Every structure is written in structure tokens, then in C-alpha cells.
Structure 1
Amino acid sequence: MTQSNELVVKFGRSVDNPTILGALEDLCKIYSLDADELYIRWEQYSYQKQKKLEDLDLEAISAFKHAIQQQVEKKANSMGQSSSASSSAVKKTKNLKPTMSSPSLFGLGIPKTPTVKKRRVDFTPTVLKDENSPVASSAGQNDAFFTPSMGLNSIKQSPSSVSAMRLNNPDPGKTVDTLNLANMEEARGIDLEKSNNIKLAPYFEASKFHFRTMRQNLLDAADVLDEQIEIFSNIIQEHYKIPASDIGDPSVQSRSEIIAVGRIVADSPTADGILNTESLALETSRLTGIGRRIQLNLGQIKELTLFPGQIVGLKGKNANGEYFVVEEILQIPQLNFPVSTGSELQAFSEAIGHSTTKVVVTKGPYTSSSSLDYSNLADFVKRINTEIRPNVVVMFGPFVDVTHPLISSGKIGDFPNLKSQPKTLDEIFTKVVTPILKEISPVIQVALIPSTLDAISNHAAYPQDLFDRKQLQLPKNFKCYTNPSTFQLNETLIACSNADAFKDTKEIVKGGNTSLKNRFDRIAEHILSQRRFYPAFPGGLKRRKVRSENGGETWEHASGVDIDVPYMGLTEFSGNINPDVILMPSELTHFARVVQNVLFINPGSFIRSSGVRGTYAQISITPPDLQDGTLTKVEDDADVYLHNIWKRSRVDIITA
């Protein structure tokens, strides 16, 4: 039984509406609840507020969501207080502790999206200790300043920190999810005594990312937004063989049917709740409609999935001058896939000895929210060298999170195993993180992708310039790439983006087949059709008020990314082709999915904010073979093949 059917069974036929079901499904995903748990919470809420199931509309769901959020925050605050009380009962060295008054993402106390034992996955996952239990919470705070010194072998641990690590980090190396398990085996790994013949080549122009942020010009931003609409207008016109006279202005009253191309926007610039089909408008280009907006009437459309920032082609008419009645939504054609000749594929296969390529993908943060302890990363590096032995490691930031409670409060303290204490945030990386990363075997290629939360990055907006490898004192087997970036791993084209499009994209879903699709699949399809890594606009940046120590109120970062609008062109797919693999970390549940022959992977966070081990992704790519049928020959060309990486890859999500 699907989740939609379970919700209808629990809540009754009054919620058998695509909009209402979509809103309830979003609540289940946001707070990791199943239909039973959500219905129990609704019964409690409806009894207090004297509501009935017949009253369950979008406004009631929004208020219900607010009530659930208050419960989560109340529980988080009470747990923070209980953990402080339990830790104070035993005499220990006094450690500075971050303020736990506000739940948050990115490691500020307790996560806003709660992590619980029960999660919906394709099969039964490994059950870890509940990271929100008082035991785990207090254990995470006892080792607030335990930090590894220079190198892996010089880590010294106190008894309390060792027990805390055991409580917070169960079962490292256990597989919790697998894609293509039945088709192929896990890669064995490389021999570190031999050379690594993997070819890693960037597929982007790094010089274009060397711009200065915080200097947005309104005219430049308007030009970019307008150009996006015009580009898609030309694409739709060419694909559907539409004459230029049929592309019209939807804001002008007319009884004639036209094709309108524009950007989906909310009807209110301050809209920040659950959107619906009645609250959407279409923004035109300056050439077609002088940039005007017109409200959309989507009553005739039986199936749709839209979000703010989406570029769409609509067929319909504006008969009364008040709204544009949509009769059909035109599908945007997909990009082509990368190809290689048979001789090139054979050369790549021979270079790696016809062996399976292993790629490891991790995503920060690499410390808990209560400490700057990188010992889990140090242990992981040891496993990379001894057990995993991948050809390539792709590491996403943040490495030194600027929103970390100890950093944002200025209460970092001393690193006891360092002779010379860091004086800047950059030195925290070079003196604490760099020695750990240097221990990775020089045979293994490592790619670093920054985050907008990285304290060591010069760019705090998306798209983002690359790290300076020499400044970070990293060896030559490390490659620093931009965010987003695309690189070629032998024949495989891999794209990376460290902006959470899966969480920040606010969908409006209507229709049976569309609503039954997995949310990850729908947003992945949007990313491919919009041809850019972060299709939502405006960005999903969230801030909230917090009380400062002097009693005042300040704003702090909660989630999302700032977008440097004049440079949004850098977030589009490189080379105007679809990648074979898209690595896109998200705060949502880890996953590996094939969407329209593209492999999408979210490795999950390396360490959760409470200190519990997170996950990483391991990709095993079998070598290309012209004879085994896994490659598809391009029509009308005798020696050109599609890579079909989605057929030749196995993805394992593993506990870090």
C-alpha cells in the first residue's frame, strides 16, 4: 500500500485530494513520520483545537505543521537541559558548551529535522542508537574539545572520550542501502603499492568562478533571469516546431490560444507557507511580456508538478484578462548524454586493467555540534588506506563549519595536542584537518568540493569558487573543484553540487501518477529538465531569530544557500549535456536512484549534529565492455556508444 493510500485510510475520504495528500506526505517526510504516527498527532491536535477532519484544508495543515514544530523544539530544549543536568552530576573538567536553546540544522544544537529510529527506506536499515536520547546527547558534550593532533598515530583519548565515541558511533562500515545489489559485486579496491591509472579531468572553466561576491547589480541579475526564459523559449519553439507568432504574452487579454513561456512564481512575494495551484503566477520575459506576471488557472490540468523558479511552456488563453487558463503544460526536451568511441572505451578499460573502479563520496560536517573533534574522520582515513582502498574520494564540505556553535560563539578553546594553537579559522583547517587528510595514500585521488558554510572559502554564495590547494597545504593527489563542478573519471562524467536542491525545492503536486512518484525522483526530473543543479528560485535560504547572551535578539542561518544571481549561468550543466552521475548531498535521507538514466546519489552527512556516525556512499563502476551488452550503440554511428553508467554501477550507502 502506498503512503497516499495509507493516509486516505487513516484520515478518510475527506483528504482524498492531491493537494491535501501532498501536504500530508510532506509532513511525513519532514518529521520522519508514518501515516499512523501522523494521524495520532492530528488526533491530539484536533482535540486541543476542537477541529474535525472536514476542517483539514491547507490552512489547517499549515497550523498543524506549526504545532508539530513547537513540539519538536520543546523536546529539543528539554533534552538539552536534561543532558546538562546529568553531566553536572559527575565532577569533570569544566568544558565550555554551546548554547542549546534553539534547534537547528548544520550542527546548531538539535537538528530541526528530527532523526529517529524509524525511517522509510526501500528495505530494512541498520538500527542505530537513537541520537536524540539523553545518553547520546550527554556523551556528545563530554568531549567538547577532544581533537586529534598532527597525524593519525598521535591521537590521544581520555577514558570519557573513548566511551563517548563508542556510544555515539556504533557499527562503522555497515551497509544500510544498496542500489543494483543483484547485478554486480562490490569493488575490491586498488593495490596501494601500485600506480592508480585513473584519469581525473575537470570539465568546467575555473576562471569563470573567480568573481567577487556581494557585488550584485540589479540590472545584471535581471538580465540573467530574463535570459533564462528566452533560452527555454527558443528550446521549446525549436523542439515543438512552433512558429514565432504562436509565442505570446499571457498577461494580455485574448480569446486566441497561445504558447506562453515563463517562470513559475508565488502570487505573493512574501509567500513562505505551503503553496497550492491557486497561489501560482507566471512571470514573463521582457521581450514577450515586459516582465509582467499573470495568475494561473490550472483547473483543467489533471496532473502536474511545479515549483517557484521553474521555467515552463504553457498552452492556453487569457479570455478575461485576469488569469491565464492553462490547457496543456509542454514537456521540456531532455539533453543528450555523453558518448565515447569504442576505441576510447577500450583504452580506458585497459588502463585500469579491466578492473572495477571504486569511488567514495562523503559530505560534511565532519564533527558533531558539541565539539571540534575530528577523530571520526581520522579513523575513516585509516579505513580508506587499509580496508576501502578506493580509486577516488570525493569530499564535500563544510570542513570547518562557520555556523558551528563553538565557532559562531567564539568559544573554540584550545586544541590540547597542538604545540601551536590556531589563530584563525583557516589555521584550524591547516593545523587540524590537513594533517588528517595528508594521511590518505598518495595513490588515491581526492577531490574537494566546498560548501557555502565553509569558513575557509572566500565565497559564501552559490555558485562558489574552489579552495586554494597550496594555501591549505594539501599534496598533489588532492584536486580542488568548484561548487558546482563537473569532472571526467575515465569515461564517466560526474557532476557535483553542494546545494540542497532536494530540500529547498517547494513542490506543488497534483495528479495520481505524479503524486505517487517518490519526491526525490520528481525533483531529480526537475533538475534534468531545467538543466541546472539548483532550479529553485529564489533560494531556500532560511534565517531565524535567536536570543544573544546580553538578552538581545539576532538573526542566524538556519538552512539553504544564498544565490549569486548574476552568475547563475555557472550552475547550469556543463557542455549542455546530461552527466552520467550527479552527486548532490542533502540533509534529507541518503539515497541512490536512477532517474532518466542518470545516477543520483546523496551520501548523507558524515557525522550528524549529535555526534552519531552518519553515512557515506561507495560507487563500484565496472569497466566498459563492448561485448557484454551493457553499452548502447548510438544510431547511425558505427563506433559511438552511450556510457550507461547506471547499468554498470553498484552504489552502497555505508555507515561512516
Structure 2
Amino acid sequence: MSRSIDVITHFGPEADKPEIITELQNLTKVHALTVEDLYIKWEQFSNQKRQTHTDLTSKNLDEFKQFLQLQMEKRATQISSNSKINPSIKKPLINKSLNSSPLFGLNIPKTPTLKKRRLHGPSSLSDSKKPYTAGSEVETNGNGDSSLKLEFTPGVPEGNEDTKFQPSAKSLNVNTPNPSTFQTPTINTPTALKLSTTGGKILDSLNPENVEISPGNSNVGLDSTEELPPSEVRVEPFYDAKKYRFRTMRQNLQEASDVLDDQIDSFTRIIQDHYKLSPNDFADPTIQSQSEIYAVGRIVPDSPTYDKFLNPESLALETSRMGGVGRRVRLDLSQINELSFFLGQIVAFKGKNANGDYFTVNSTLALPYPNSPVSTPEELQEYQANLEGSSLKVIATCGPYFADDSFSLELLEDFISRINTEVKPHVLILFGPFIDITHPLIASGKLPNFPQFKTQPKTLDELFLKLFTPILKTISPHIQVILIPSTRDAISNHAAYPQASLIRKALQLPKKNFKCVTNPSSFQINEIYFGCSNVDTFKDLKEVIKGGTTSSRYRLDRVSEHILQQRRYYPIFPGSIRTRIKSNNIQVKKESNNVKGNEEKVYEHISGADLDVGYLGLTEFAGGFTPDIMIIPSDLQYFARVVQNVVVINPGRFIRATGNRGSYAQITVTCPDLEDGKLTLVEGEEPVYLHNVWKRARVDLITS
């Protein structure tokens, strides 16, 4: 009797019929579901039929049975196709790692206000539509196989089947790291790296025919014991650091939804102003209407059970509470010939919902690009005088800084030596992770023995102080050093994105030339605005593409344009989660013939974007304008491009998993000159100049 009441409670008065109750109860028994779970399946079934309400008729119940059967068969097929049957393997008892990063926190940020004036970008897009590209093909930055046989493994890029992991028998019972583990090392110190290539080799260049490589900082090499001369460059952060010091793991759904709503509403105002539309032109796309309307919303999948493979027929539009009570409506994109969409993208459409089931899109409204930064003639002349007419040199590198089977920093030591003696940059930007929490030796808790230390490091903070700090202190005090954390950094106590800066004092780094900034961060080096983000947007952004013109374009150009149009360093929502199958953790149920079995895959969380939804406002472009140079490290092949008059750079990883040399970016920007014609004068009440860094910059991608 109680089960009958549960059925009526969940399915409504329509289910108060003996034959319907019997059918639904049978389905709960056959598929081992609770009434609540069965009702959730029924809602999925109704959503797939594109109906807001599906009647409980015999015909629909028969179709519902087929729906459940297909789901069960699909799940069984995936398990059998992705697993290797091995009846002799038993599932061991594994202690779960406590090293996972927090995913969510809370509160609503506000983008820092800026005193800097902004002007619209170039009026002519003829040049910007044809991005600069590096002239030659470059080597792929593949990952080698790891030689260690450990229980926990580093992050493996999705779809990279070349990186395999074979656990040893002893690795099946590795405990969570604890102080005693650190005090009793179980492996020896790795030998020096065997580097197959030479450092300092130029792999690729952007704009080499127009700009010569900067000779560098003339002060580097001077006696550091004497009083330092005035710096040739000025580094100024362009954000409010206090707003990044929030507590994670405190997500409030109401505040998170407010942030997501604000994103849609703010773009509605931008579209309205840019296209000179009236507020009455915008309406709710989920309501049936025969009139064309304008609608702004977020791209989402049309089904909660999507399997990460989307197409133009499987997309829906999510509205804000103000624009459509937060409801979703499926999109009919059959009339659109060219498109490039991704989950979380804010879009603007013109169309109508004639039947109540679909919003038919007749045209898409391109989002306007943000403004470009400007400077006054007096400011530019001051920067020119500081550099004495020479060009600016900036170096950007991204971790990890040691191989998967080693803690050797031989490559970093060699790199810093070349920085001080040969390269001599004005600014050195170091992206994390410095000590990667997903590193195999760290994840397993097996730190090696360091014979060069009198006392062995007992914590990961001590490991940084003993390994990294002495090397970083050898950097010339005339070089400005900027540290940007990663959510995988073991030395960071803030493992969510956006991420607070590292604590320079705790790292025992000099105050005079070291600066720790947030992730993401915007800062100014002389007149040039840099935008840096240490989350892999280029890899995580998966597009839904339609049309030959769109698909034939270089993918990294499309992704860069999405970032600029969305005005956020990480416009994807929800964020990515990187997992891998733990090959040693398989449960096998032996059958009577002892030949076949069923496998249960166990997934291990490695890392991800780790978005803190309540603070996503801090990931927006500071001041609402584009940076002159945008640096976003990625696991993908290093590159340097000019997209919409913005220099976009992926410096690549400093070292590969196998210990081979990686790459870094060397940026040269000529000194601003009001007379050479490379700066664009913008008339107004007070004359200002567009920086046009894309005309004045050269980027070299070099082996580390």
C-alpha cells in the first residue's frame, strides 16, 4: 500500500489507476530503482520526447520501457567496450587520496574599477580578421611514458592514449601521505636529467621580419651589492587582491545562480547598446509566439544525460531569471549556415518559438569585442625615457619544472643561469605549478632522499623552500619576477579558480624584485597591459561547429576570439574535470564458466578547472577592455598568434613528463614612439594613443 502511495505522490493523480500503479511498480523491481529514481527517469523520457508533460498512457508506458531498456543496453555496451576482462584480478582495498583540490566556494565579486580610460578597438577589422601566424611548422609537444610504477598518477590529457600507466604489485596499497612517510624515504635521489636537445633553440617566431630581438636589460650583470639604479620598467597590478582572499568550500546556490544570471543580463545590456535595440525587442524565448524576438542566454545541452558529444541538434538556450524565469528551450539552428558554440557561451539570437518546443534561430548577433587600452602622450614619453629608446624583453614560462620520475631542477638551474648571463630580460613571468600535487611521487607520498640537505623536508612547503627558493634567489635583482599560481600547486592554500596569489614572505623570496599575483591576473608593464590565466582554456573549450568556413579556420583563433568576446579568461561552464580509469582497481564478478566477467570501472579525479562559481566575476577582463598581450598556458602545442589585435601566447610546458626540454616564450616589444607611426592617435577632449602592441611585438618560442 505504501508503494502505491509513493507512486501517486511522485507521478501525480494521473497515476491513481490500478493498471498504471502495477506497471510502474514492476518497472521499479525489474530495474532495481526506487520510485523517486523511476520518476527521474520518467522526466528524462518526457524531456527526450520534447514535451513539458507526458500522459501516463499505455502507449507512453510501453515507450518508457523501451527507453529504460536502451539506457541499460547503452551502459552495458560502454562498460564492455572500455574495459579489459581479466577474471584473475581482484579489486584491492585502496585508501582514497586526500589531495583533491576543493571545487566550489562562494560569494559575489565585483570587477575592480579602473581609472584608466578605454576606447573602442580598431574601427577597421580588415586587418584583425586575418590573424598573424607563426611562419613555420613546429614540433609536437607530446608526453612520454612514465617510468614510475605508482598508485597515483599525474594528470593525463584526455584522449592521449599514448600515455599509459602500469602499476606494480607493491603500489596497490600505498597509504595517504603522512609525516612519517616523508621522514622515511623509500626511493633514492634520481640521477641527473638526460637532455636530448640544447636549450635556447628558437622553435617558432611571430613577426620576426619586423622586430629584432631585444638586447635585454642593460642593468643585469651589475654589482648587486651596490644601490640598485631605477628600474627601466614599472609593474603595476590591475586588480583588487583582497577580493581573491575568499574561503573555498562554502558555495551558496543562491549566490552562484545570481552570478550566472548577471552574466546573461550584462550581455543583454551590451547587445542592446551595441545594436541600438529597444528593451521591448527582447522577450522570453521559451514562450510560444509567432513574432520574431531577440533573446540572450547561455548555451547548454538539451538533455541532462548528454555524454559530452554534442552537435547542432543537441543544444538548448538557458535564460536568466529576468529574461525567461531561468527556463531552457531547445534550439533549431537549421537556418544557420555557420556557427561555433560551446557550453557556457553567452549568445544573442533573433528568432521565434512558433510551436512552443523549439526556438528557431533566424540569425545570430555577434558579440562586440571589448575596448582597447590607451595611454596619454606624456605617459608614453615617460616609458620611452625609462627604456632609453630600447625595446622591452619579457620571458614567460609555465610549470611543471621537474619530470615525473624526478625532483631534479637541473633544467631550471641552467635556465636561470642563461637568464642572468645571456637573455637578460626586464621581466620574468613564472606560471605554476611549482610543486604539482598530482606529481606521481607527491601523490604517492614517496619523497626521495636528498643527500645535499642536512635535514630532509617534511612538508611540501619545506620542499619548495629547499629546492626552489635557493634557485630563484639567484635571479638578478634587476629582473622583475612575477609568480602566478596554479590550482595544482601544493604550496597554495587556495585551490579554486579564481585563485589568490602565493605568499611571497612565506616562500622566503626577496621583496625588491619578486611579485606574487593572482590567477587570473591583469597587470601593466610600462604601457603594456598583460592578461594572464593559468587554467587550460584552449584544451577545455570543446566547440560545436557547423559550416565549411568556420571549420576551416584555425581552431586556436576561434577559441581566442571566444575568450575575447565572452570577456572572461575561462568562459566555459561547467568547468572541466580531468579523470582517468584506475586500471588496477577493477571488480570482476566471475561466472560459472570462469571465463567471462563483468568489470566495474573506477575513475580517479586528477584535476580540473575547479571553478568557484560565486566568484567568477573575478575571471572577467579587468576594466572591461582587452589586454594587449594575453598569456594562457596549455598542454597543447606552444603557439603565438595575433587575434583581433591581441597577442595571444601559449608558452608551452617548461619540461615534459619524460624529462625532455619543453619551451618558453620570449616577448620583445619595441619602445613606444610617437613619431614612428605605429601608435594610433585617437582624437577627443584629450588626445590618447592606442598601444598597437601587435604591430610592435615579436614572440619567439624557445626550448627551455
TM-score by length of 1: 0.76
Amino acid at match of 1:307: F
Q: 8 Å contact 2:376–2:688 — kept in the other structure? A: yes
What amino acid sits opposite 1:161 in the alignment? T
CA distance in 2: counterparts of 1:553 and 1:427, whole angstroms = 37
Where 2:582 maps in the other structure, the secondary structure is strand
5+ unaligned residues in a row in structure 2: which ranges? 1-76, 85-143, 165-187, 223-227, 588-599
State how far apart, in whole Å, the 1-side matches of 2:515 and 2:445 are.
Answer: 31
Residue 693 of structure 2 aligns with an amino acid whose one-letter code is I
- Alpha-carbon distance between aligned partners in 2 of 1:189 and 1:556, rounded to the nearest angstrom: 46
Instruction: Show the 5 A alignment for 1:266-281.
Output: 266-281=301-316
Partners of 1:180 and 1:114 in 2: how far apart? 35
Shift of residue 239, structure 1, vs aligned partner: 1.3
Q: Percent identity?
A: 54
**Partner-residue secondary structure (3-state), 2:205:** strand
2:150 aligned with 1:99? yes
Alpha-carbon shift at residue 235 of structure 1 (Å):
0.9
* 1:438 is the counterpart of 2:473: yes
C-alpha spacing 1:442/1:554, structure 2 compared with 1 (3 Å): farther
- Distance across 1 between alignment mates of 2:253 and 2:633: 30
Hey, what's the Cα distance between the residues in 1 that align with 2:427 and 2:625?
A: 23
Give the whole-Å Cα distance in 2 for the aligned partners of 1:463 and 1:442: 29
Q: Which residue of 1 aligns with 2:201?
A: 174
Q: Deviations over 1:201-239 (max 9, x none)?
A: 000000000100111111110110011111111111111
Within 1, Cα distance between the matches of 2:488 and 2:567? 25
- Partner of 1:459, secondary structure, is coil
Question: Shift of residue 113 of structure 1?
Answer: 3.2
How far the C-alpha of 1:517 sits from its partner, in A, is 1.2
Q: Distance in 1 between matches of 2:446 and 2:484?
A: 27
Q: Hey, what does 2:671 align to over in structure 1?
A: 623
Aligned match for 1:406, one of 435, 441, 445:
441
Deviation at 1:189, TM superposition (A): 1.3
CA-atom RMSD, angstroms?
A: 2.7
Aligned match of 1:183 in 186, 199, 210?
210
Quickly say closer, same or farther: Cα 1:612–1:312, change in 2 above 3 A: same
Task: Specify which of 515, 530, 538 is matched with residue 566 of structure 2.
Answer: 530
Q: Who is 1:487 aligned against?
A: 523
CA distance in 1, matches of 2:545, 2:503: 42
2:575 aligns to what? 539
Separation of aligned partners in 2, 1:528 and 1:577:
9
Query: CA–CA distance in 2 between the matches of 1:301 and 1:563?
Result: 32
CA distance in 1, matches of 2:652, 2:243: 29
> In the TM superposition, what whole-angstrom CA distance separates every residue of 1:63-108 from its partner, at most 9, and x where no partner exists?
99x99999xxxxxxxx96xx97xxxxxxxxxxxx4428978428xx
Say if 2:650 is the partner of 1:650: no
Structure 2 letter corresponding to 1:485: S
Separation in structure 2 between the aligned mates of residue 431 and residue 102 of structure 1, nearest angstrom: 24
**Alpha-carbon separation, structure 1, partners of 2:246 and 2:560:** 29
Aligned residues: 526
Of 113, 120, 125, the match for 2:160: 113
Give the whole-Å Cα distance in 1 for the aligned partners of 2:82 and 2:605: 21
Shift of 1:271: 2.4
Q: Which residues of 2 match residues 321-400 of structure 1 at below 5 A?
A: 321-400=356-435
Label 1:458 to 1:357 Cα distance change in 2 as closer, same or farther (>3 A).
Answer: same
Q: Which moved more, 1:267-276 or 1:525-534?
A: 267-276
Structure 2 length-normalised TM: 0.71
Secondary structure of 2:372's counterpart equals: coil
Is residue 154–residue 606 contact of structure 2 (8 Å, CA) maintained in 1?
no
C-alpha distance in 1, partners of 2:614/2:536? 20
SS at match of 2:551: helix
- 1:422 and 2:422 are equivalent in the alignment: no
Of Structure 1 and Structure 2, the greater helix share is in 1
**C-alpha displacement of 1:169:** 4.0
Shift of the 114–350 alpha-carbon distance from structure 1 to 2, 3 Å rule, reads farther
Greater Rg by CA: 2
Does structure 2 conserve the Cα–Cα contact (< 8 Å) formed by 1:102 and 1:546? Answer: no
SS of corresponding position for 1:254: coil
Q: 2:585, 2:602 within 8 Å by CA — same for their partners in 1?
A: no
Partners of 1:637 and 1:171 lie apart in 2 by: 54
Residue 496 of structure 1, aligned match among 527, 532, 538: 532
Q: Deviations over 1:392-419 (max 9, x none)?
A: 0000000000001100111112222111
SS in 1 for 2:367: coil
What CA deviation, in whole Å up to 9, does each residue of 1:288-345 have, x standing for no partner?
2110000000000011111000001100000011110000110111111110111210
- Letter aligned with residue 212 of structure 2: E
Q: Looking at both structures, which has the greater relative contact order when contacts are Cα pairs under 8 Å and sequence separation is at least 6?
A: 2
Corresponding position: 1:464 with 2:468: no
In structure 2, the CA distance between the partners of 1:262 and 1:271, relative to structure 1 (3 Å rule), is: same
Aligned counterpart for 2:352 among listed residues 295, 317, 341: 317
Q: 1:608 aligns with which of 632, 639, 656?
A: 656
Give matches, 1:551-630, under 5 Å: 555-630=603-678
Of residues 509, 513, 521 in structure 2, which corresponds to 1:474? 509
1:145-188 Cα shifts (integer Å, max 9, x gaps): xxxxxxxxxxxxx99934xx33x341211000100011011111
Distance 1:494 1:319 in 2: 47
Q: 2:102 maps to what in 1?
A: none
Whole-Å separation in 1 of the counterparts to 2:336 and 2:364: 8
| 549 and 273 in structure 1: CA distance in 2 versus 1, 3 angstrom threshold | closer
Partner deviation per Cα, 1:560-603 (whole Å, 9 max, x = no partner): 31100000000000011111010100111100000000010000
Partner of 2:105: none
Give the SS at the match of 2:617.
helix
Change in CA separation of 1:216 and 1:558 when aligned onto 2, cut-off 3 Å: same
C-alpha separation in 2, matches of 1:68 and 1:181: 47
Q: Does 1:511 align with 2:547?
A: yes
Give the AA of the match of 1:515.
Answer: S
Given that 2:190 and 2:407 are in contact with CA atoms closer than 8 Å, whether structure 1 keeps it comes out as no
How is 1:45-84 mapped onto 2 (pairs within 5 angstroms)? Answer: none
Note the C-alpha offset of 1:635: 3.5
Secondary structure in structure 2 of the residue aligned to 1:608: coil
